[in-house]
Chains A and B, each alone.
Chain A
Amino acid sequence: MSTLPHPNHAPHAHSGVKVSRIMATVMLALTPATLFGFTLFGWPSILLWLVTVGACLVLEVACLRLAGRGGPKTLWDGSALLAGWLLAMTLPPFAPWWIGVLGAVATIVVAKHAYGGLGQNPFNPAMVGRVALLISFPLPMTTWVQPAPLFAAGSPSLIDSLHIIFSGTAVPDALTSATLLGHVKTEATRGVDALHAVMSLGADGSGLGWHAGSLGETGSLLVLAGGLFLLARRIITWHIPTSLLAGLALPAAIGHAVAPELYLSAGAHLTAGAAMLGAFFIATDLVTSPATSAGRLIFGFGCGLLTWVIRTFAGFPEGLAFAVLLMNAGVPLIDRYTRPRIYGHGQPAKAG
């Protein structure tokens, strides 16, 4: 006869899936697109990525210490690393170092730890970081460069790159360029219609990524592949990516069919900007998206639609970050009004 340890409640088994494993899988899925971006934009992009991710990790440790939860386990759940990574994927690759650091402050300190850390934040941390930067520092946040591959002639060397990122040396004029969406927007203000604007940029199969943009923008196809990998591993469900892309493509297709000189085609919208990154990696952020399937469909569609509206009509060339934040704000409401019907009930449970 033996007396047993303090009773634990059932179940006495676990699937083995852990937060750190989920985060690691997402990072694995992000790797190909990131590496592609690195080769495309060379040393400056690598340095900026390192600065951004590093700042996020340092701030995460500091915040956890302040909150008295400084155990190694909470740091290595990987959420800070992933948030920093996603933020870095949306920055102009030649942006100065302080962009990365300030973005990390907004992401980790304001958007995440002010709310109590992992799981408590209503807004997507990486997108808070990006939007805060975009509004505060419009110029460096919209200075894009042409692809300047590692080791190619004319690309900045490691030393040049250190200067660009850390001592504010201006990006060589020869390298600056515009993204597709930014170009169309500026041309529209000069009275050039969308069709000609696209042609003047010489968009040559932009899906392949050989054009100006952020790391996440140029590697759209690889981001898509990474997203499909996440779907296959059941880290994310199909609802948000599908509905987001539909919400973006449907109005774009209709607009383009009605007035091609005013509206970009659906294909351009889907491959340009952060559409793919947003659909598979940002809007699908578990913490800030709805918990129900129906809610996820509404959320994704709203993100896509608002992205199209902001891209097309508002002052900013890229609206995905705003769209995601706007829909984040609606998540509690969406969750509340899409509660599934409980077994044995005629109607969903009454609001609590």
Chain B
Amino acid sequence: MTEYLLLLMSTAVVNNVILVKFLGLCPFLGVSKKIDAAIGMGLATTFVLTLASVATWMLDHWLLVPLDLGYLRIVGFIVVIAAAVQFVEMAIKKSSPQLYQVLGIYLPLITTNCAVLGVALLNVQNGADFLHATLYGFGSATGFTLVLILFAGIRERLALAAVPKAFAGAPISLITAGLLSLAFMGFSGLNLT
């Protein structure tokens, strides 16, 4: 039990997918202008990432490894992830038009969210078992959501601040992301045992 909790903590905070592994930067900068959109994006990503971790684990262990097709891993993963995202998009469009309006064009962005593929590949690299893979996906996604929402909060405030012209927009967002990353370095070496 403790082990799984630690795994969650470690993937969410210490080895944060955005701030430490630098994955998923496009949605991090793209969908962080409004807190509401960030929350929606975070939830959708959490769902997809967990789902993708599970699906790719199954694909890897039940198809690619037995057939010795490791070289097809990236292609196979991309296909599975793209299909999962498409499915989620359709389901959301039907079940929650409001959420769909909020996420809008960003849902397809999850397809190309390198965090999703990255986490799936890291799972293989780590040789994780099924439960570990699922938790790793979920923990990474939680960390992604946490940082995305924090960042969106700051950006909403920055939108009202008198940022100098030279820094306004993307530059100040990147500086902020850097400072956020600096703050998260406080967790480095976190050892709960």
Contact = CB atoms under 8 A, between A and B. Distances in A.
A111 B36 CA distance: 26
Interface string B102-141: 0000000000000000000000000000000000000000
Interface in A77-133: 110-111, 113-117, 119-120, 122-123, 128, 131-132
A329 B161 contact: no
B175 interface: yes
Contacts of A182: none
Given A115-B158, A116-B163, A333 B179 contact: no
A245 B149 CA distance: 27
Given A315-B188, A315-B190, A333-B153, A326 B163 contact: no
Contact of A310 (B167, B171, B182, B187): B187
Interface residues of B, number: 32
B40 to A, nearest CB: 14
Given A135-B185, A310-B186, A314-B190, A115 B35 contact: no
Given A115-B172, A314-B191, A330-B153, A67 B164 contact: yes
B69 interface: no
Interface string B173-192: 00110011011111111111
Interface stretch (A7-15, A24-32, A232-240, A317-325): A317-325
Contacts of A260: none
A322 B154 contact: no
Interface in B151-171: 151, 153-154, 156-158, 161-164, 167, 171
A346 B84 CA distance: 42
B183 A329 contact: yes
A123 B180 CA distance: 9
Contact of A114 (B164, B184, B188): B164
B145 to A, nearest CB: 12
Nearest to B192: A313
A70 B156 CA distance: 28
A115 B161 contact: yes
B157 A332 contact: yes
A325 B182 contact: yes
A333 B42 CA distance: 15
A111 B179 CA distance: 8
A316 interface: yes
Contacts of B154: 122, 329, 332
Interface string A191-226: 000000000000000000000000000000000000
A336 interface: yes
Nearest to A332: B153
Nearest to A322: B186
B172 A325 contact: no
Which of B35, B183, B190 is most buried by chain A, counting CB atoms within 10 A of its CB? B183
A333 B182 contact: no
Which of B156, B164, B171 is most buried by chain A, counting CB atoms within 10 A of its CB? B164
A114 B167 contact: yes
B179 A123 contact: yes
Given A115-B172, A325-B182, A120 B163 contact: yes
Contact of A319 (B153, B179, B186): B186
Given A131-B182, A314-B189, A325-B186, 8 more contacts: A110-B179, A117-B162, A310-B186, A314-B190, A314-B191, A326-B184, A333-B149, A336-B153
18 contacts: A67-B164, A110-B175, A114-B164, A114-B172, A114-B175, A116-B161, A116-B162, A116-B163, A122-B157, A123-B179, A131-B183, A310-B186, A314-B186, A315-B190, A328-B183, A329-B150, A329-B151, A329-B153
Interface of A: 67, 110-111, 113-117, 119-120, 122-123, 128, 131-132, 135, 306, 309-310, 313-316, 319, 321-323, 325-326, 328-333, 336, 351
